[in-house]
Structure 1
C-alpha cells in the first residue's frame, strides 16, 4: 500500500468517524424546533439526545468486539449502510418516539466507525510504513472536530430546511466513507464461520442488556427527582447494576471487563476523568443553545454561528495541542487544559447578566481551548494506559465514558430547566459545571505516565 492510498483510506475512515460526534452535537440546536413540532415539554424532548447516547454507550464496546470477530472493514461498511438507511427513513417519522428510534439506529450505525478505524490503523501503517501516531492524530481530529462543528451545521440546516435535514446530511457523508473504505482500506483477513449461538454467547447480550437497563432506569429516576421521585426506579437501577457486575465477573467473555479495569488504575482514572469532562462540556453544548433560543430569543442559525468559535478554535488548535503533548507530555496538557476549563465554566455565569452576542462568543471561544486540549490529552492517555492486547475493548469503553458523561449532562439540564430556562436556572448550571471542573482537576493531577510509576 503506497502512502497516497493509505492517506485516502484514513480520510475515508475519518469521514465515518466524525458522524457519531457530529450527530451528538447537531441535535443541540434542534431541540426547540422538535419541541414545537411535536408539542413536547423540556424533559421529554431530551430523550432525542438520551436515546442516542444510551445506544452509543452500549454500542461502542460491543461494536469493537464484533469488529475483532468479523473484521473491522466489514463492520465499518455495515455501519455506514445502517446510517444511510436510517437517515433516509427517519425524517418521515410521524411521531417523536419514532424519531428517537431513528436516533437509536443512527447511534448503532455510527458506533461502528471509531473502533473499526482504530483497528484498521495497524494494517494500514504496516502496509504503508507511515507513522501510526500521525494517522491516529487525524482520526482524533475528526472525532473532536465532528462534535465542535455540529451546532454550526445543525443551526443552518434546522433554520432553512427543518429538523429533518440533520438526518439527511448524513447520507452523502456515509456514502463517501463507505465508498472510500471499500476502495482503499485493506481487506479483512479470512475468518472461519462460527455458529450463531457462539457469536451471541461471546457478545455477552445479558451484559449489554443489564448495562443499558441500569443506565435507563437511573436516568429516568434522575429526570423525575425534582417532581415526584420514583424510588422503584432507583431500586431497579441498583438491581440492574448489581446483576451487571455479577454477570461481568462471572462470564467468560464480558461486555466490559471489570477485572481488567481493576488491575489498571491509570485506565480507570482516564475513563472517570473523561466522563467528568464530558458532563461539563455537554452541559454547555446542550444547555447554551436552549438558553439562547428560549431566553435570548435567538434563531437556531444564529445560535449555530455563536457556537462557531468553539468549532474553529478546536480545528486550529488541534495540531498545536498534539505537538505540545509530544514535546512536553500528557500531564502538563491535562493541567493546563482543565485549569482553563475551570475558568471557562466560571464565566458561564456572565450569561445571567447579558445574552448579547459578545458574551456567548467569548464563552464558546473559551470552551474551545479545553475541549481541544483535554480531548487529545485524554485520547493519548488512553493509548498510554491500555495494553496492546486490550486496546480495542479499551477504546470502546473510552467512548462509552464520553456518552455516560453526555447522558448525565442532559439529566442535569433536565433538572435545572424543569421550571423554565431562566437566568436563575442557568446560574445553577454554571455553578455545577465549575464544581465538576475543579473535581476533574484533582482527578487528572493523580494520573502519571507509565514511566513514572513504580
Structure 2
C-alpha cells in the first residue's frame, strides 16, 4: 500500500495521542525532585530505591505487553484503559501510609503510563494505512512530547513539590489524564469490532510464564545488589541466575515469547547494543535521580532550585540530539558513542575534582551541560547501531528488546543511587561523578575498539 508523503495525519489526533504519552516521562521527572520530601514524610530505607525502580520494572513488562493487547482488543481501548489505571494510581498515591504502599502505587502507575506509547504507535500505524498518509508528522509530535517532558519535568516538578508537597506529583496527573481522555475520545476513531479471543487466547498472547520469569529475574537481581551495602545476600543472585535460565529455556520453546532472547543469541551485534544501552541508561538515570537529591539534601536547595539546575542537563540533551542526528548520516555510529562517552568522562572528572557543596552556581550549570551532552550522542549512536544490527523483518522485536534494556538500566540506576550516591557533604557528588566517569571510560574504550575493527574490515 503506497502513501502520499504530502498528506499527514490530522494534527489534533497526533497531539491527543501525545498528551497521554507524556505521562510516563512526567512521572519519572517530577519524582526526581520529590524524593527528599518523601523521605522526610514517610522515612527512608531499602524501599526508597524501589520507589524509583517500581515504575520502570512495570513499564519494562507492560510496554511490550501493551502492544500485544492492542492487537487483541484494539489500541484505542487499551490506551484508554491505561489512562484509567493511571487515574486510579494518581488518586490513591497521596494517601499511602508507608513507603511500601508507595512502591506498590508507583508500580501500578507504571502499568498505566506504559500502555500509552505502544498503543499510540499502533493507532498511528493503523490510521496512516487507512488514510494512505505519512505517519511522519504524528511520530514527530510524539517524539517532541517526550523530549519536552524530559527537559521541563524537573523544573515543573520543583514548584509542584514546593506548593503541594510530594503528594502534588500525583495530583498533577488528574487533569492531564482527563485532558488526554477527552481528546482521544474526540479525535481518534473507535476501534473496529474484534473477535473474542477468550481468556486462554489472551494469556497465550502475553506469555505469562516469560513475563513472570523476567520480573523475578530483575527483582531478585536488584535485591541482591541492594544487599551489597549492608552485607551481601548471595542467594538473591542465585535466584536471578535461575530466572535467566528459565527465561532463556522458555523463550526457546514458546511460539510467542514475552522476551525473544533467541534473537539476542543469534545476533551478537544486537546483544552488544542492548547491553551498551542498558549501561548508558544506568548512567543517565543515576544523574536523573542522584543529582537532584544531592542538590537538595547536601547543597541545601529547595525542590524549585534543584529542578532549575537540572534544566541544563536536559536542555543541552535536546540540542545534542539534534546535532547527533545530523552527524549520524556522515560519521560512524561508534564515533558518536566515543563523543558521548568522552563527555561522560569529562563530566565525571569535573564532579569528582572540582564540585563541592560550596561551589558557585555557574559551576553546577557547567556540570549540567556536560552531563546533558552525552544524552543525544549516546541515544542516536545506539539507535543507529540497533538499525544496522537487524534485518527489517526483525525491527519490531529488536526495538522491544532495546526499549526493555532502557527500563532495566533505569531500574538498576535506583540501586546505584541508593548505594553509592547518598546525600552528605561532598561524598555524594563525588560518588556520582565516579560512576558517570567510569561508565563513560568503559564506553569510550569499547566504542574505539569497535571503530578500529570496523575500519580494518572495511580496508580488507
- What's the counterpart of residue 358 of structure 1? 362
Q: Secondary structure at the match of 2:355?
A: helix
Q: Residue 87 of structure 2 contacts residue 174 of structure 2 at CA under 8 Å; is this kept in 1?
A: yes
Is 1:103 paired with 2:106? yes
Q: Name the structure 1 match of 2:23.
A: 19
Corresponding residue of 1:404: 408
Pair 1:122 & 2:125 matched? yes
Tell me, what secondary structure is at the counterpart of 2:175? helix
Shift of 1:426: 3.2
CA distance 1:351–1:301, change in 2 (3 Å) = same
Write out per-residue CA displacement over residues 166-225 of structure 1, whole angstroms, 9 at most, x where no aligned residue. 111122222332333333335445432112012112311111111111111111111121
Corresponding position of 1:94: 97
Counting only pairs closer than 5 Å after superposition, residues 204-283 of structure 1 correspond to structure 2 as 204-283=207-286
Kindly indicate whether the alpha-carbon contact (under 8 Å) linking 1:208 and 1:255 is maintained by their aligned counterparts in 2.
Answer: yes
SS at match of 2:360: coil
- Secondary structure of 2:24's counterpart equals helix
Q: Which segment drifts farther, 3-12 or 268-277? A: 3-12
Deviates more, 1:323-332 or 1:156-165: 323-332
3-state SS of paired residue (1:91): helix
Work out the CA distance in 2 between the residues paired with 1:370 and 1:301: 25
Alignment of 1:7-406 (within 5 A): 7-41=11-45, 43-127=46-130, 131-316=134-319, 318-326=321-329, 330-349=333-352, 350-352=354-356, 354-383=358-387, 385-406=389-410
* Higher mean C-alpha deviation, range 437-446 or range 215-224: 437-446
TM-score, normalised relative to structure 2: 0.88
Residue 7 (structure 1) shift: 2.2
CA distance, structure 2, for counterparts of residue 168 and residue 352 of structure 1:
35
Residues 3 and 177 (structure 1 numbering): CA distance in 2 closer, same or farther, change over 3 Å?
farther
TM-score by length of 1: 0.89
The answer to whether the 8 Å contact 2:320/2:374 transfers is no
d(CA) in 2 for partners of 1:269, 1:294:
37
1:111-162 CA distance string (max 9 Å, x none): 1122222233323433555544554343233333323322111111111111
| SS of corresponding position for 1:229 | coil
SS in 2 for 1:46: helix
Kindly report which structure 2 residues correspond to 1:403-442, keeping only aligned pairs within 5 A, or say none: 403-417=407-421, 421-442=424-445
- Deviation at residue 436 of structure 1 after TM alignment: 1.0
Distance 2:20 2:365 in 1: 29
In the TM superposition, what is the alpha-carbon distance from 1:239 to its structure 2 partner? 1.8
Structure 1 position 344, deviation (Å): 2.4
Kept in 1: contact 2:48–2:418 (CA 8 A) = no
Q: Is the 8 A contact 1:6 1:124 kept in 2?
A: no
Structure 2: runs of 5+ lacking an equivalent? none
Q: Which runs of 5+ in 1 are unaligned?
A: none
**Displacement of 1:433:** 1.7
Distance 1:444 1:180 in 2: 44
Report the more deviating stretch, 312-321 or 136-145. Answer: 312-321
The CA RMSD over aligned residues, in Å, is: 2.9
| Paired residue secondary structure (1:307) | helix
Partner Cα separation in structure 1 for residue 378 and residue 116 of structure 2: 22
Moved more, 104-113 or 368-377: 368-377
Of residues 312-321 and 23-32 in structure 1, the stretch that sits farther from structure 2 once superposed is 312-321
